[in-house]
Every structure is written in structure tokens, then in C-alpha cells.
Amino acid sequence: MATEAAVACAGLGRAYGERAVLRDVSFELPAGATLAVFGANGAGKTTLLRILATLLRPNAGTATVLGRELPREGWAVRGRIGLLGHDPMLYRDLSARENLRYHARLHDVADGHAENLLDAVGLRLRADEPVRTLSRGMTQRVAVCRAVLHEPDLLLLDEPLANLDPGAAALVEPMIGRASGATRVLISHDVEQGLAEADLVLGLRDGAVELFGTDVGTDEVRRLYR
């Protein structure tokens, strides 16, 4: 029996005024698989992620996430999605511990789980300092903890290793990599790394699908940036 798609988009479109950012985007992503999304700046990658995260409404087409139609049923799926974007979505005047405990209460998660995550990313000793005093790499580690705190079924990852050195990247990999067990949509400008992570590849150019498939090579992806 075929596995129901965790994410399915058909003819998806989004415009800002007269400027089309996404145009007729269609794809399906099976549960447990990873979709790597590539494209030059302005190709529509982040807009796609924000639609799937229920933060933006499409102007055309349909999007179904974890069996729920967006935006009509977005309320039913938000608690099953983990978003890690350019904005860490943290309160800068609160400490890392306070931020995670706040999100834990939103998702009815025990505070102890937040403590375990802080340990896992090596931030136990800095956990009571305001986020605004932490380095960008440390802030990104806290943002990873926030995104996975509620053990989401779908991870939406926009350059998740940004600002992380190799050691820190290794710490967060079990949380947001394949070991997480989540369905993943991953935006990456690192072509080799993104392809290594991918079960499926989506390439966008000027908001439209240029590439989609399981057998996409490095050269094909690099042409998206020319």
C-alpha cells in the first residue's frame, strides 16, 4: 500500500502584489523522507517553507501537510511542525532556559526535556544568560532546541547549520538530521551536503519548479545558480 504523502503541493502560488514569488509549484514528499530545496536568492525557497509552516497563505493552488489542508486546517497541524529559519524565534531578553521552558509549556512538554536538550548542545553552563549575550552559533543551537522541543513530525529547516562550526553542527545533527525520524524539508546552499541529505530534490528558479526527482546530480543543481 502506498504511503500517504506527508507534504503535497499542487499548483501552489504566492505573490506579493504583482510580483509572483511561487508559480505552479507541485510535488509530494512521503512520510519520513527528506526533500532538499535548492535555488538562487529570490527563487521562492523561504516563501515555500513559510507556507508549509502555516505562516503564509498561498494565493493559488493547494498545500496539504500531515493530512491537513492549508490554510483552512493550519490550526490542527502547527503543533506537529518544527520550524528552524533565519529568525531564531527566541526572546532575546530571556535566557536560553527561559525560552525553552516557555515553549515547553506551549506544547505541554516537561521542563526536564528542555534541560536534556540544553545538555545535548553543550549549553547547560550558559543556559541562564540572556540570549542577546550569546554568540550567533550558541543562539542557533538554542533555536535548534526550540524547533525540536515538541518532537515534531515535520521539520522545516532553512540553512539549519548557519553559524555553526563543525563541532556544534555535530551536536545538533542527531536532533535535525536523519536520526530525528522526522519528515524534513531542507533548504541549503551547500549543494553537496544538501544532496547527501536528500531523498528527493526540488530545484526552484524564479518561483517555478526547474528540477524535481530522486536522481539529481550536482551539476544539475549548480545550474540553478547561474
Instruction: Taking residues 198-219, report their average pLDDT.
Output: 95
d(CA 77, CA 55): 12
Percent of the chain exceeding pLDDT 90 equals 96
**Residue ranges of domains in the chain, CATH in brackets:** 32-43+78-225 (3.40.50.300)
The DSSP output letter for 2 is P
What is the model's pTM?
0.95
Please say if the pLDDT value at position 22 is more than 80. Answer: yes
Distance from first CA to last CA of the chain, Å, rounded? 41
Task: Check residue 3 and give its pLDDT.
Answer: 59
Confidence bin at 2 (pLDDT 50/70/90):
very low
> For residue 20, which of 209, 206, 187, 204 has the smallest C-alpha distance?
206
d(CA 109, CA 91): 19
Please say if the pLDDT value at position 223 is more than 90. Answer: yes
> For residue 171, which of 99, 117, 110, 95 has the smallest C-alpha distance?
117
Task: Check residue 189 and give its pLDDT.
Answer: 87
Instruction: Taking residues 176-181, report their average pLDDT.
Output: 94
Query: DSSP 3-state assignment of 54?
Result: coil
Confidence bin at 194 (pLDDT 50/70/90):
very high
Structure confidence by residue, pLDDT tens digits, 131-169: 999 999 999 999 999 999 999 999 999 999 999 999 999
Confidence bin at 206 (pLDDT 50/70/90):
very high
Please say if the pLDDT value at position 180 is more than 90. Answer: yes
Structure confidence by residue, pLDDT tens digits, 26-82: 999 999 999 999 999 999 999 999 999 999 999 999 999 999 999 999 999 999 999
Distances (CA, A) of 91 to 42, 94, 149, 215: 28, 5, 16, 41
